Structure 1
């Protein structure tokens, strides 16, 4: 029984966004600089413009047929509108915005690429696709997801929590922690009655694990590996923080993390005591009786 999980730290993280254009852009760089300067407030604006003029950001415009087709089915599953799907299907060109940065805080690769793609999409009234997810990002939601002047974000704006049903319950796997260099979190066989509270708990756990990860990366020069505790406490304040809110109550519960296999870079999540009613007991201890799971 180990007390720590040793996770590799990637040398570089990459973000990719696409803008579906009805016609080619004469000068994508000039358009991006102009509209980032207009639409993005400081201090994020300075970071984005600095990266835009560096090798860390690339703008790749080609005829749409020059890229692999965007997955219309997945985009629709993640709530793309029929209008967005039609615009993507009709797009003559795609502008792909890529950014690279080291792991740690701030996640400048994601902030810069999303802000640039959003500014260009707003200028052209064109759909912006987050290729990582993949999903279409409506402009209001995209702009709301960017950091405030204090550098704060809501983790739920950068992470999805899809779940699928199986013969013994639901499978949950986060989709977003990899943006920061972490494995995703996964839980199997969640009872149908726990779908909502377990989703909230996983959001909070993702926030807690991300905080531990970033604390380790702040400690000095970028390490090759980071040790995270095998047993992690997640509290109501973590659940609130994932939503960008505060929670004064410090109620917490422990969960146990374990590594997936080499081909599946996930951290499996289960109750620390791993009893037969572990998930139900955790949700009840954190959120109260089942009737309170709203």
Structure 2
């Protein structure tokens, strides 16, 4: 209790998106500039246009056969519409949009690449694929996920929370924190009755961990950051992950442990050893199962 976890900070982060095209674009850069100027709200608009004119962001259009195959089964599993899958299957070309930036706020590599890919895809009615997740993003998802005049961004628009059944419960693992340079969160052996509340709690933990991470990166660019092993997560964190507010101050403590194999991940569990369980944490935060909305 009270110890820190030391996490390395990557030098550079990358955002990669693909647009599945029915035919090649005559001038991808010119189309991107025009559509970003038309579809992206300030102040992000100016930043993205600046990235388009810099080495930070690149556009790479090639025949679809010249790229590695897109993970069609995973795209379908993460909600791709049949029409989008058909468009991907018949695409003659792909436009790869790649951006690079240092860790910190704003995550310009992700915002810039998603804004450009989303603008081009919306103009052509072509599927936009977030290669990281992987997931097909609708025009509404792209627009909602990017910051507007209020600057609000929902973490849940940038992160998935898949869970798979196992012999002793469900395995949860976030897919999105690595965009910011962090290890993903995970929990093993979640009882079936806790799938919904534990998923909500992990959203709040992800928001809190990201907040602590970005706070450390606001000062300078360290090579490593110490995060507390035990953190508090509350209903306010869960609401903030979804871009809303919650007046309640109810919180619980969880423990993070660094698992380095097969890839670095932060395992989330009860803060104290002994009788405290995942069920007890969910009940303390959300109430008994019969009282939950």
TM-score bracket for the superposition, by shorter chain length: over 0.9
Once the two structures are superposed, residues 230-271 of structure 1 have per-residue CA deviations (whole angstroms, 9 ceiling, x without a partner) of 001000000000010111111110000010125321000110
Normalising to structure 2: TM-score of the pair?
0.98
Aligned partner of 1:90 in structure 2 is 90
Aligned partner of 2:79 in structure 1 is 79
Question: Does structure 2 conserve the Cα–Cα contact (< 8 Å) formed by 1:197 and 1:293?
Answer: no
C-alpha distance in structure 2 between counterparts of 1:114 and 1:275, whole Å: 45
How far 1:293 moved relative to its partner?
A: 3.5
Aligned partner of 1:118 in structure 2 is 118
Aligned partner of 1:181 in structure 2 is 181
C-alpha distance in structure 2 between counterparts of 1:293 and 1:6, whole Å: 37
Equivalent position SS for 2:84: helix
C-alpha distance in structure 2 between counterparts of 1:293 and 1:10, whole Å: 40
Correspondence 1:164 to 2:164: yes
Once the two structures are superposed, residues 187-245 of structure 1 have per-residue CA deviations (whole angstroms, 9 ceiling, x without a partner) of 00000000000000000000000000000111x22000000000010000000000101
Question: Does structure 1 conserve the Cα–Cα contact (< 8 Å) formed by 2:42 and 2:148?
Answer: no
Question: Does structure 1 conserve the Cα–Cα contact (< 8 Å) formed by 2:2 and 2:230?
Answer: no
C-alpha distance in structure 2 between counterparts of 1:126 and 1:118, whole Å: 9
Aligned partner of 2:9 in structure 1 is 9
Question: Does structure 2 conserve the Cα–Cα contact (< 8 Å) formed by 1:14 and 1:100?
Answer: yes
C-alpha distance in structure 2 between counterparts of 1:164 and 1:90, whole Å: 31
Aligned partner of 2:247 in structure 1 is 248
C-alpha distance in structure 2 between counterparts of 1:194 and 1:111, whole Å: 33
C-alpha distance in structure 2 between counterparts of 1:268 and 1:34, whole Å: 44
Question: Does structure 2 conserve the Cα–Cα contact (< 8 Å) formed by 1:177 and 1:184?
Answer: yes
Equivalent position SS for 1:193: helix
C-alpha distance in structure 1 between counterparts of 2:276 and 2:212, whole Å: 28
C-alpha distance in structure 1 between counterparts of 2:198 and 2:57, whole Å: 37
C-alpha distance in structure 1 between counterparts of 2:217 and 2:150, whole Å: 20
How far 1:277 moved relative to its partner?
A: 4.6
RMSD over aligned CA atoms reads 1.0
What is the aligned residue count? 293
Correspondence 1:154 to 2:178: no
Aligned partner of 2:134 in structure 1 is 134
Normalising to structure 1: TM-score of the pair?
0.98
Once the two structures are superposed, residues 87-137 of structure 1 have per-residue CA deviations (whole angstroms, 9 ceiling, x without a partner) of 000000000000000000000110000000000001111000000010100
